A and B are shown apart, each in its own frame.
Chain A
């Protein structure tokens, strides 16, 4: 005989407050809701993509209090009280691109575009910490993000250019 299946109890909800791309959002969410689903389907920030839902491909990478994390490996309730930056929040001005985004266009660092937001968020965090990375460091840092289109070569070139653009910008500011 098959064992009798019972209905799961997953209806519990909780209220969270997060700052997303500079805006405070308060929402009541199911406790089992993934952070990635919260961003995409509750806040409609669909630039964060889901490629594997087991934390390997890196498509869902966002910044959580400044660190690059996989939003598919977290529950939304775990982000309560934290600040999140998604691809939509990277460039301050709606019509401008961040130097990393500009570099990716110039160096053809994307094709289908699906992995791109996650890669750019990873690169943003990387360049904050290592403003002048070697190629080997870039490849190592990117190894947590899968891309099936580019063969990574032009992504690596994009990161090199982005680092250069950001250093120039830094010099101008100072």
Chain B
């Protein structure tokens, strides 16, 4: 191979389009005759619907259709439960439009289709809904109180699920341990807030009987499957495309959001394209959220700082429904042991309904909570024993020769929680140097003399990524020599048009610019699952790799015939195919593509040149010999991992706290990250930067605040503070590469990593900075006012 693109910081193929304003996000798709939709949402967190009068809205000029639950016919079915689980004994999913009861502020009640969004919103004002308010469950505390109001009247105690997993003998070990600590730790809700909200354009073509939907989603293929079933259409007559997607961060893997059913329903009924674009206020109250958990954790350790056992009981807030099963709390339970040799672990969680927006994964998906708990534990052990915090961690690490390490729990995919590889001490050693850890105490003491409060904190995580079931890819060399590569996963900014191109380019001896990648279009690639769980680069990337190898082998076999040589002597480099010792007599990839498709008529410059070359005549027999497996240079391949692979990393920061305001600023931030082999370090570092920024938001700025009526009281960017360039520090990133033995590329997922350890390290750094006040952070996210309050409490 002349050049190896894998591992190089290749600039992105997708950028020129985006930079010139030529991206195509869902709201950029303006089909002729398109009508615009708006959704009437519940203003109550819990209420009975007594009646709906939409007559005034229906008679407003410009309004084409007003849908309520009564108008949906057999489409009025609860959304499918995506990931059933035996412990989820009381699953409940949402109707496309509420029928008798609304269970959160923002739940869809009516759908209006009009000439313009302006008119559609006018019509919303004209719909009269009579509600009878019901008692509201606005928090986990209320939900778990005996005799509390019920979110679903047939679900006792608001309990959707209860799952216990036990490793070893935690009860025995805790009972006989020299040190046992018990505390309550909690994390409140946050939200993904992609810059592009959700949206859909649905088009019904009555001539072809074809439904086409462009959706800002992370999972178009499963949505295609679902829409076909809902609308009784053959699967191949439904095409779902995720066009350019302006960020997803997990919230767009949810399906079905009501509008994804309502817009196609309206388009079929009206025979005109229907577009619905979520606005930011809707995004705050109708796109899924995450994070809310309360943990009662008890842990035992010995005099040397070795963690002996953990007993963790937690409540998980699932909101009003369980569309995504209990994936998030399962991930929390399985992520809690982290990089540590935890041999005795009791994990017990209860999933509770509340009258709030439903919960499904948001970047990190249950892991930031788990890491917050475990790293609080490590810090506490250090404090109790007066040991260095990093030394305690080192004493508990799983060692490099102990892999594969089986945690002993069943992971979210039903497979084992089995770490495939890692080197935890090596990453920590790097981080210590990056932070100048050993010299920090002196700097801290010096600063304190000047009345400044500096603190240092670290957060270590192990992250399950790259789960199955599978992904696939198709690679095809076209007659102009450019390569088409397609997969069912979507892209929301992760650079798949570049990283997948790098993988293919290496096999075909071309450049990544020669490879045109298509993602998330059910007509370009029929099979697949979606982009979530930090799996696209690993699972779809491996499929790309395997498909490209098949194409390369086919090229070699055909070229061997043409050059009357052996396939082993055929080389692919610089876009050409030749016998190793005769590079002057070469065919281009485009010429090979023509030769691989034995037509009588060929076109273009490549074909004319071919005719002039002195190549071997076709063998006698069929023009397309059976062993070729079909015409052209095309191959499909699928990759299905044996189980998830486990990436890891450690972040650290030096912060300064102003005790008079509660404000925190970053002095230094460093991250050491291990996602196995790096496909494109520039891209991976960008993913880490972005994750850290989201993590800082989730640790110090972004807290969804619900009042007792279940109203989200900070549902705007004025009040829910997404960090800006002024708050986010420069982040130093370094890498450890412990290749995954589970896939042919040796890679692990990287997309979610950055966000995961931030709340943990932030708490650790705040504790350290404010140690003169004896403060211990037990909840996340903090914000300046809350930190100020905690400080006042610990002072008094």
Residues of B with C-beta under 8 A to A44: 30
Enumerate B1-58 residues with CB–CB distance to A below 8 Å.
11-12, 14-25, 27-28, 30, 56
Contacts of B688 in A (CB 8 A): 151
List, in ascending order, chain B residues with CB within 8 A of A138's CB.
725
Would A116 and B18 be within 8 Å (CB), given that A146-B724, A151-B690 are in contact? yes
A118-173 residues with Cβ-Cβ distance < 8 A to B are 120, 138-140, 142-156
Q: Contacts of B126 on A, CB cut-off 8 Å?
A: 5, 7
CB of B244 closer than 8 Å to a CB of A:
yes
B580 at the interface (CB under 8 A from A): no
Q: Which residues of B contact A148 (CB under 8 A)?
A: 192-195, 247, 249, 690, 693-694, 722
- Contacting residues, chain B, for A56 (C-beta < 8 A): 716-718
* Nearest CB of chain A from residue B165's CB, rounded to whole Å: 34
A56 shortest CB reach to chain B, Å: 4
Q: Does B209 contact A (CB under 8 A)?
A: no
Q: Is the CB of A47 within 8 A of B23?
A: yes
Q: What is the minimal beta-carbon distance from B16 to any residue of chain A, in angstroms? A: 7
Question: Smallest CB–CB gap between B348 and chain A, Å?
Answer: 34
Q: When the two chains form their complex, are residues B280 and A41 in contact, meaning their CB atoms are under 8 A apart?
A: no
- The residue of chain B having its C-beta at the shortest distance from the C-beta of A2 within the complex is B128
Interface residues of A in 28-45 (CB under 8 A from B): 30, 32-33, 40-41, 44-45
A81 at interface by CB-CB < 8 Å = no
Contact of B195 among A87, A146, A153 (CB under 8 A): A146
Q: Which residues of A contact B20 (CB under 8 A)?
A: 47, 87-88, 90-91, 97, 101
Nearest residue (CB) in B for A106 is B11
> With a CB–CB cut-off of 8 A, which chain A residues contact B245?
112
Residue B196 is within 8 A (CB to CB) of chain A in the complex? yes
B residues 188-211 in Cβ contact with A at 8 Å: 192-197
- Chain B CB within 8 A of A53 CB: yes
Asked whether B195 lies within 8 Å of A150 as measured between CB atoms, the reply is no
| B122 contact set on A, CB distance < 8 A | 7-8, 10
Q: Which residues of A contact B22 (CB under 8 A)?
A: 47, 88
- Residues in A neighbouring B494, C-beta threshold 8 A: 111
B195 touches A53 (CB 8 A): no
A68 within 8 A of B: no
Q: A87-B21, A88-B20 are in contact. Are A114 and B118 (CB under 8 A)?
A: no
For the complex, give the distance between the alpha carbons of A130 and B363 in Å: 37
Interface residues of A in 16-61 (CB under 8 A from B): 30, 32-33, 40-41, 44-54, 56-57, 59
Residues on the A chain within 8 Å of B130, using CB: 2
Residue of chain A at shortest CB distance from B122: A8
Report the bound CA distance from A100 to B216 in whole Å.
28
A17 → B minimal CB distance (Å): 22
Tell me the residues in window 672-688 of chain B with beta carbons closer than 8 Å to chain A beta carbons.
682-683, 686-688
Determine the residue in chain B with the shortest Cβ distance to A152.
B725
- Contact at B25–A114, with CB atoms within 8 Å? yes
Least Cβ distance of B285 to chain A in Å? 14
Answer whether A30 and B118 are a contact pair too, CB < 8 Å, given A47-B23, A51-B280, A54-B717. Answer: yes
**Pair B12/A112 contact, Cβ less than 8 Å:** no
Assess whether A151 is in contact with B728, with CB atoms less than 8 Å apart: yes
Q: In whole angstroms, how far apart are the Cα atoms of A87 and B258 in the complex?
A: 33
Contact with B21, one of A30, A117, A139 (Cβ below 8 angstroms): A117
Q: How many residues of A contact B (CB 8 A)?
A: 62
A49: chain B residues at CB < 8 Å are 25, 195-196, 246
In the complex, what residue of chain B is closest to A154 when comparing beta carbons? Answer: B686
CB < 8 Å neighbour of A143 from B23, B25, B30, B725: B725
The answer for the CA separation of A113 and B21 in the assembled complex, in Å, is: 9
Q: Contact: B118 with A151, CB < 8 Å? A: no
Interface contact A116-B280, CB-CB below 8 Å: no
Given known A44-B30, A138-B725, contact A112–B19 (CB-CB < 8 A)? no
Tell me the residues in window 710-726 of chain B with beta carbons closer than 8 Å to chain A beta carbons. Answer: 716-718, 722, 724-726
In the assembled complex, A84 has its CB within 8 A of some CB on chain B: no
| B233 within 8 A of partner (CB) | no
CB of A5 within 8 A of CB of B125, answer: yes
> Are A97 and B19 within 8 A (Cβ)?
yes
| Cβ distance A51 to chain B, nearest Cβ, rounded Å | 5
Expressed in whole angstroms, the minimum distance between the Cβ of B731 and any Cβ of chain A is 6
Q: Give B193's nearest chain A residue, CB to CB.
A: A148
Q: How far is the CB of A2 from chain B (nearest CB, A)?
A: 6
B728 to chain A, nearest CB (A): 5
> B118 contacts which chain A residues (CB < 8 A)?
10, 30, 32-33
* Cβ–Cβ contact B682 & A108, under 8 A: yes
CA distance A33 to B56 in the complex (A): 23
In angstroms, Cα B119 to Cα A33, docked, is 11
Minimum CB–CB distance for A61 against chain B, Å: 12
Q: Is B388 an interface residue (CB 8 A)?
A: no
In whole angstroms, how far apart are the Cα atoms of A138 and B724 in the complex?
12
- Asked if B539 is at the interface of the complex by the 8 Å CB criterion, the answer is no
Taking a contact as CB atoms under 8 Å apart, the answer to whether B731 and A112 are in contact is: no
State whether the Cβ of A76 lies closer than 8 Å to any Cβ in chain B.
Answer: no
Q: Does B568 contact A (CB under 8 A)?
A: no
Minimum Cβ distance to chain B for residue A71 (Å): 13
- B485-522: CB near A (< 8 Å → 1, else 0) gives 00000001111000000000000000000000000000
Candidate in B15, B691, B726 with the most chain A CB atoms within 10 angstroms: B15
Residues of B within 8 A of A45 (CB): 21
> Nearest residue in A to B29 (C-beta to C-beta)?
A46
- In the assembled complex, the Cα of A26 lies from the Cα of B11 at a distance in Å of 40
Q: Is B692 an interface residue (CB 8 A)?
A: yes
CB distance from A133 to the nearest CB of B (A): 12
| B15 close to A105 (CB less than 8 A) | yes
Tell me which of A7, A104, A111, A156 contacts B19 (CB under 8 A): A104
**A47 with B195: CB separation less than 8 A:** no
Is B689 interfacial (CB 8 A cutoff)? yes
Q: How far, in Å, is B118 (CB) from chain A's closest CB?
A: 6
* Complex: A97 Cα to B15 Cα, angstroms: 11
Residues from chain A with Cβ under 8 Å of B429 in the complex: none
Query: How does the 8 Å CB contact mask read for A73-114 relative to B, with 1 for contact and 0 for none?
Result: 000000000000011101100000100010011101011111
Tell yes or no: A63 within 8 A of B by CB. Answer: no
Chain A residues closer than 8 Å to B718, beta-carbon distance: 54, 56
A59 touches B725 (CB 8 A): no
Residues of B with C-beta under 8 A to A110: 15, 18-19, 493
B402 within 8 A of A: no
Q: List 20 A-B contacts (CB under 8 A).
A: A45-B21, A46-B21, A47-B20, A56-B717, A57-B195, A88-B20, A101-B20, A110-B493, A111-B493, A111-B690, A112-B492, A113-B17, A116-B18, A146-B722, A148-B195, A150-B693, A151-B686, A151-B693, A151-B754, A153-B730
* Residues on A facing B (Cβ under 8 Å): 2, 5, 7-8, 10, 30, 32-33, 40-41, 44-54, 56-57, 59, 86-88, 90-91, 97, 101, 104-106, 108, 110-117, 120, 138-140, 142-156
Nearest 3 Cβ contacts at the A-B interface: A47-B21, A114-B246, A112-B493
User: What would 10 more interface pairs be, CB under 8 Å, given A32-B118, A54-B717?
Assistant: A5-B125, A7-B126, A53-B279, A87-B21, A105-B19, A108-B11, A108-B682, A110-B19, A113-B493, A148-B192
